Chain A
């Protein structure tokens, strides 16, 4: 459902992605691993258009994104494609992803109401269900600054799920957490994997890879250097 074809990306003179081609299947959980600076996060950000690339193409469920220069402002058609792709591929960030001025519940309700036009009451009910699913019913009125790191990431996952994405892109969702918090987030991800949610996960942690991924891809210096079952790649 996600196809990356010959994507090349350089920041100034440093090549971050050097012709990456890879396909991700629906219903599978794929981990992107490899050393820092290997291009994992950049690949994830290229897939949902937060980062533009110099050549190659990205296709998400039939929507095609081509190369573009960083300085050029995208036209209306391209912006519409970007938004459509982002609705199909929800994203969870490593840091500061939750809207700081809204409670946990409001964070989850925000996009359904203002992007999808879901009625407020309906969005609230759905958000409450999603918070229950990640085990945070009791924290719905807390603000991001009052949440622990693990709770923070679980709200971020619920928020991404609220838009009913075809896939979840997770950028190091556990790396800033202590072991207990890691376990609590990993458990939520494992539940989702069990429920058949397509996930693309950037991580440093082999434990997480083993527990929830059914495929691992190792990126090094902008190239895919290994691709297979987690046990083989790790």
Chain B
């Protein structure tokens, strides 16, 4: 007892010592950047025009107004700029992890981000632009008028923060899809930054600009522990704003407008106004629990319905492959190979967005059909293996008793095959529970999506992550136990059969 306490103390001392070292080691962030000779900035090339994108005709070369701003800032700091590609929705966590020095990619100054990062002065003032279908006069340019309307926007955006209590936001992960869905009639309006609206919404003749619902700022995000780097970037931005370079950059991307005049006279008071007092993060509470349970409900609903589709369809495919003759057999085989050989994410995209001009499915049916058709390919193989595991003599005995092949399959082969397949079907269902998180790409808010939305609210992944994992586990563990039990039971029966 005394000895173990001594060990414990030693371990604690070692951890405290390491932590102290960790605090003492780095000098200033600016010195680190200067010593490296490079300012590493995080952005997502997928965000596209006009932020950061491959040059037309030379997609390897990255251009965009943020590329030019990054190069100008780096020049002012006496270093060169280097873009670090990073998934947009994870720019802030990656910044916190130290993947790059600053993040700059249309990062709006939102409440949720203000609590986590240090924002520099802004390099762009944007408007939240509301768009609707040209022939739909019912949408008015005010938030209260959006109550009960389905309004598309991007996850974790300022627009989403504005919309979440005022309407029914539909959350997308790309900039093209919200407008495509608005044209298709799946939503009533789209609220996004004017930069995005101008490039992706305005060119569509079917849409009209309703109006602007507010303003916001794009600024660079810096780690809170590195205020000296933030101050240096601020200085660089002030220089290129004063010299007119920023204006020229924005003009080149056709982004300059009267709103940007404010950047020139940007003061400490303006900065305080933009940052404000960082709001205290809302703790996880009963409201979140209800949202999580609803997310788990959606996950369960999508999974159960998708499996209910996958099982009969898979059975049909397996029977077609084994007994359907050459044509049907080849068709079923092609289906299985096609669906197993392509990513389910792509299948969901094609079904929901690709087919939208001819087949306008709602998000939930599209999720069920997309996952169901994908899993049918896997179920088909499970059933095929199950059918082939039934000894040939079982089918022959049934035929020898005068049964038709159809009757023999129904009464003799399939009952045994499905029993053999049951553990694998259960395991597939567990996999489906988790794969169902993919349907968030077609705007279904299920458990994982709910978790990432809540994580932004409460400024932490830990609580929501644990709650999310616990709910998945609670759904899948009993099924796993059931599958193992079934497997053992069938194993015992097979041994008894072999011994008889």
Instruction: Report A's interface with B, CB cutoff 8 A.
Output: 48, 50, 73, 79, 83-84, 86-87, 90-91, 93, 95-101, 110-111, 114-115, 144-149, 152, 156, 159-160, 163
Quick check: is B401 within 8 A (CB to CB) of the other chain? yes
Other contacts beyond A97-B397, A145-B497: 17, CB < 8 A: A50-B396, A73-B325, A83-B402, A83-B404, A86-B401, A91-B397, A91-B400, A93-B397, A95-B393, A96-B394, A97-B394, A100-B497, A111-B401, A111-B402, A114-B407, A115-B407, A146-B500
What 0/1 pattern do residues 463 to 500 of B give for CB contact below 8 A with A?
A: 00000000000000000000000000000010011011
Nearest 9 CB-CB pairs, A to B? A91-B400, A111-B401, A145-B496, A96-B393, A145-B497, A96-B391, A87-B402, A97-B397, A115-B402
Number of A-B contacts (CB under 8 A): 77
In whole angstroms, what is the CA distance A93 to B8 when docked?
Answer: 71
Is B393 touching A97 in the complex (CB atoms < 8 A)?
A: yes
In whole angstroms, what is the CA distance A97 to B391 when docked?
Answer: 9
Measured CB to CB, the closest approach of chain B to A154, in angstroms, equals: 13
Is B419 touching A101 in the complex (CB atoms < 8 A)?
A: yes
- Residues on A with beta carbons closer than 8 Å to the beta carbon of B394: 96-97, 99-100
- Residues on B with beta carbons closer than 8 Å to the beta carbon of A83: 402-404
Question: Which of B384-428 touch A at CB < 8 Å?
Answer: 391, 393-394, 396-404, 407, 411-412, 415-416, 419
Contact of B500 among A73, A101, A149, A156 (CB under 8 A): A149
In whole angstroms, what is the CA distance A98 to B412 when docked?
Answer: 10
Measured CB to CB, the closest approach of chain A to B129, in angstroms, equals: 64
Contact of A159 among B393, B401, B493 (CB under 8 A): B401
For A110, give the chain B residue with the smallest CB separation: B411
- Residues on B with beta carbons closer than 8 Å to the beta carbon of A86: 399-402
For B323, give the chain A residue with the smallest CB separation: A73
Question: Which of B184-223 touch A at CB < 8 Å?
Answer: none
- Residues on A with beta carbons closer than 8 Å to the beta carbon of B325: 73
- Residues on B with beta carbons closer than 8 Å to the beta carbon of A48: 400
Grouping DSSP codes into helix (H, G, I), strand (E, B) and loop, the B interface class, with mixed when no group exceeds half, is helix
For A115, give the chain B residue with the smallest CB separation: B402
In whole angstroms, what is the CA distance A123 to B401 when docked?
Answer: 15
In whole angstroms, what is the CA distance A79 to B408 when docked?
Answer: 14
Measured CB to CB, the closest approach of chain A to B202, in angstroms, equals: 61
- Residues on B with beta carbons closer than 8 Å to the beta carbon of A111: 398, 401-403
For B403, give the chain A residue with the smallest CB separation: A115
For A86, give the chain B residue with the smallest CB separation: B402
In whole angstroms, what is the CA distance A93 to B394 when docked?
Answer: 10
Is B412 touching A99 in the complex (CB atoms < 8 A)?
A: yes
| A-B pairs with beta carbons under 8 Å apart, 26 shown | A83-B403, A84-B402, A91-B400, A93-B393, A95-B391, A96-B391, A96-B394, A99-B398, A99-B416, A101-B415, A101-B416, A110-B412, A111-B398, A114-B403, A114-B407, A114-B411, A115-B401, A115-B403, A115-B407, A144-B497, A144-B500, A145-B493, A145-B497, A156-B397, A159-B401, A163-B401
In whole angstroms, what is the CA distance A149 to B499 when docked?
Answer: 9
- Residues on A with beta carbons closer than 8 Å to the beta carbon of B500: 144-149, 152
Measured CB to CB, the closest approach of chain A to B326, in angstroms, equals: 9
In whole angstroms, what is the CA distance A97 to B392 when docked?
Answer: 9
- Residues on A with beta carbons closer than 8 Å to the beta carbon of B496: 145-146
In whole angstroms, what is the CA distance A152 to B496 when docked?
Answer: 13
Is A90 touching B416 in the complex (CB atoms < 8 A)?
A: no
For A156, give the chain B residue with the smallest CB separation: B397
In whole angstroms, what is the CA distance A86 to B397 when docked?
Answer: 10
- Residues on B with beta carbons closer than 8 Å to the beta carbon of A91: 396-397, 400
For B415, give the chain A residue with the smallest CB separation: A101
Measured CB to CB, the closest approach of chain A to B412, in angstroms, equals: 5
Measured CB to CB, the closest approach of chain A to B494, in angstroms, equals: 8
In whole angstroms, what is the CA distance A159 to B396 when docked?
Answer: 14
